[in-house]
Amino acid sequence: MRILLTVCSDKSLFYSMVPLAWALRTAGHEVRVASQPKLADTITQAGLTAVPLGRDHRIWQALSRNPEKRRAVRAGLLEPYDVVERPDVTWEHLIKGYDHQVTWWHKAENFPIVDQLVTFARHWRPDLVIWEPVSYAGSIAAEAVGAAHGRLLWSMDVFGLTRERFLRMKSIEDNAGDPLREWLAANAAKHGVEFSEDLVTGQFTIDQFPSSLRMSADLDYVPMRYTPYGGPAAVPQWLTVPPERPRVALTLGITATDHFDGYTVNLPSILDSLSDLDVEIVATVADKERHKLDRVPGNARIVPYVPLHALVPTCAAVIHHAGPGTLATTSLHAVPQLTLPWDFDEPALARKLARQGTGLTLDPTAATGETVRDGLLRLMNEPVFRASAEKLRDEMLDMPTPNDIVTRLEELTTGRQSHARPVRH
């Protein structure tokens, strides 16, 4: 088959797609990855074939000129996607939220690429299109050429669940609007495609989270075990030697420095609070943040980057920002976690993890060195966290791997292609 993956120009979102892309390739299928030009090098570094299309968006540049909006983006789930944790939202809240996100986020991400993506799809004729949840250009291109298509989630399905609740509330409203439908329908119509909810949530959805961390709508889900990929990297020599004392990883993500003004927590204060513990701290600190460290405690090793899937198995605990990839990688190795979440669905995901029992979570705007220290000591001294972590790991290992679901995707493609197009094998 010919399989086209589409992704917005965000490295972390693309990384979540790489293991499945390689599973499809090693099964003998042709794979292409389409995105905006600035992601092309990242795609080819993963050994995949890039299709750079359109132009790069300027969302983050625009946010840099609006500090108030920039701060709001960091404050957890945005409207209307906060509906997944708020049972009391009004119809006006949903409409306002969708109208805002369509205007400043979804249009900005997809408008620069959608026309050229459809043109490429008509040229290459994919049998299957796999798109991440905000790459709506992928669903339009798939429908334009009659290809089967589905979403590949990089976290909990807040998009599908929000849409489900929106449609349920819309059904009881008179003359209710629908900003997401209006925008998608207009773009799809330009390419001869009629609107359906498949443009919003796909014909099926690949979910990489286990049931205890899942947030799902009433959709057709294909479970797939998360497989870590963090880009090209080398394992440093010191990591091949077993630590002499318990090792604790501290990582706060790349988005904080790539798109924002730095970490939301006081990193020097946290390191100082852990300085007298009999542990080895390995902290991945971006170069933009390292200058803020006026001193480094004797039990801390500061590095710009280390492969997380190589570091985590050597650790007794991990302190992190609750990014989906970091959280899933740590969970896969049964390591207790202390989360300091701040961006989009990270707080909601961190709460899910805490309820499952594998970790603790702190509000990063209120966290102090002392509260981080107390949380870490609990993780390391209370066996219940390790037991829950092992249970979560086993739950993940019971899920089918990317290789395991290839046959299922082949079946879905054969069954869902329109216009009776033959599937290429």
Structural domain contains residue 106 = yes
Structural domain contains residue 424 = no
Structural domain contains residue 72 = yes
348 touches 84 (CB < 8 A): yes
Q: How does residue 6 score in pLDDT terms, banded at 50, 70 and 90?
A: very high
Q: Is residue 388 located within the same domain as residue 267?
A: yes
For residue 318, the domain's CATH number is 3.40.50.2000
Residue-wise pLDDT for 275-300, tens only, equals 999 999 999 998 777 777 888 999 99
Q: What is the overall mean pLDDT for the chain?
A: 92
Q: Is residue 210 located within the same domain as residue 259?
A: no
Range of the domain at 85: 2-225+400-416
Strands 50-52 and 300-303: unpaired
Lowest-pLDDT range, 53-57, 59-63, 415-419?
A: 59-63
Which residues contact residue 304 at a Cβ distance below 8 angstroms, ignoring those fewer than 6 apart? Answer: 284, 285, 286, 287, 290
Structural domain contains residue 421 = no
- The C-alpha atoms of residue 173 and residue 228 are separated, in whole angstroms, by 44
Consecutive H or E run containing 11: helix 11-15
| Mean pLDDT value of segment 299-313 | 95
Structural domain contains residue 164 = yes
Q: Is residue 263 located within the same domain as residue 194?
A: no
- The C-alpha atoms of residue 356 and residue 352 are separated, in whole angstroms, by 6
Q: Is residue 50 located within the same domain as residue 71?
A: yes
Residue-wise pLDDT for 162-194, tens only, equals 999 999 999 887 667 999 999 999 999 999 999
Residue the block writes with tokens 């969302």:
59
Structural domain contains residue 423 = no
Q: Is residue 108 located within the same domain as residue 248?
A: no
Q: Is residue 365 located within the same domain as residue 262?
A: yes
User: Which of 159, 162, 157 is closest to 83 using CA atoms?
Assistant: 162
Structural domain contains residue 346 = yes
- Percent of the chain residues topping a pLDDT of 90: 82
Number of compact structural domains in the chain: 2
Q: Is residue 361 located within the same domain as residue 318?
A: yes
Q: Is residue 244 located within the same domain as residue 338?
A: yes
Residue-wise pLDDT for 217-268, tens only, equals 999 999 999 999 999 999 999 999 999 999 999 999 765 444 445 677 889 9
User: Is the preceding omega at residue 297 within 30 degrees of 0, hence cis?
Assistant: no
Q: What is the pLDDT of residue 56?
A: 86
Structural domain contains residue 422 = no
Q: Is residue 17 located within the same domain as residue 112?
A: yes
User: Which of 249, 262, 418 is closest to 319 using CA atoms?
Assistant: 249
Q: Is residue 268 located within the same domain as residue 214?
A: no
Instruction: Give the predicted TM-score (pTM) of the model.
Output: 0.92
Residue the block writes with tokens 């625009």:
62
Q: Is residue 38 located within the same domain as residue 160?
A: yes
Q: Is residue 85 located within the same domain as residue 219?
A: yes
